Amino acid sequence: MAADPHVLFDAWYAEARQSEPNDSNAMALATVDADGQPSVRMVLLKGHDPRGFVFYTNLNSRKARALIDTPKAALLFHWKSLRRQVRIEGPVSGVSLDEADAYFASRPRDSQLGAWASDQSQPLPSRETFEAQFEEVKARFEGQDVPRPPHWSGFRVEPRRIEFWQDRAHRLHERRLFTHSGDGWSEGLLYP
């Protein structure tokens, strides 16, 4: 048994980065809105440490609005090539402005421009409308750095529960559950 789930996550994530053909950092993000309606979608992990698991988005998106209304979330990594899953649950907070600025600056220029051009989660009359907005933004920032839009930032899911699931023969899977309390992590097993 490991004493720190972050050490185990780092080991599994390193293996996934070697074995997964696409997006080993893809994770399902589950939220619930102010009316209690759940929603799930795929996002990309852009950083993790003992403070939590970070992703970025438009703050006007459905997921951001849900997280602002109900700052709790669940994450799921599914690494099919390894026959493993990691489930994470916990409270959510925004990243610092410095963290958001630093990550935004590291993105490819077209991704930066796309953050300005997209009214994420809003109705789109046609693909041509979006492409025209992208071209307008591209012209506006021609020859200069693209600043982070004020409506774009990141969230950190602070883990309170982390479950590591490993496929085993005959559906006798292994489930290791770490739970966090004020004085650290405890670990136990769950029936499959």
| CATH for 15 | 2.30.110.10
pLDDT of res. 183: 83
Most distant CA atoms of the chain, gap in Å: 60
Whether 155 is covered by a domain: the verdict is yes
Could you tell me the residue range of the domain that residue 154 belongs to? 5-106+150-190
Whether 132 is covered by a domain: the verdict is no
Whether 12 is covered by a domain: the verdict is yes
Q: Which phi-psi region, left, alpha or beta, contains residue 52 (left: φ > 0; alpha: ψ -120 to 50)?
A: left
Output the pTM of the full model. 0.94
Angle at 52 between CA 56 and CA 54, to 5 degrees: 10
**Which own/partner contact pairs does 134-138 have at CB distance under 8 Å and 24+ positions apart?**
137/113, 138/113
Q: What is the pLDDT of residues 48-95, one digit of tens each?
A: 999 999 999 999 999 999 999 999 999 999 999 999 999 999 999 999
Whether 47 is covered by a domain: the verdict is yes
Whether 133 is covered by a domain: the verdict is no
Q: What gap in Å lies between CA 113 and CA 140, rounded to an integer?
A: 10
Q: Residue 90, Cβ neighbours under 10 Å: how many? A: 20
Both tokens of 119, joined, read 């009214």
Q: What gap in Å lies between CA 38 and CA 54, rounded to an integer?
A: 20
Q: What is the pLDDT of residues 2-14, one digit of tens each?
A: 579 999 999 999 9
Whether 66 is covered by a domain: the verdict is yes
Active site residue 175: no
Whether 92 is covered by a domain: the verdict is yes
The number of distinct structural domains making up the chain is 1
Whether 111 is covered by a domain: the verdict is no
Query: Which stretch of DSSP H or E encloses residue 132?
Result: helix 127-140
Q: What is the pLDDT of residues 135-190, one digit of tens each?
A: 999 999 999 999 999 999 999 999 999 999 999 989 899 999 999 988 899 999 99
Spot the catalytic one: 83, 171, 175, 176. Answer: 171
pLDDT of res. 96: 98
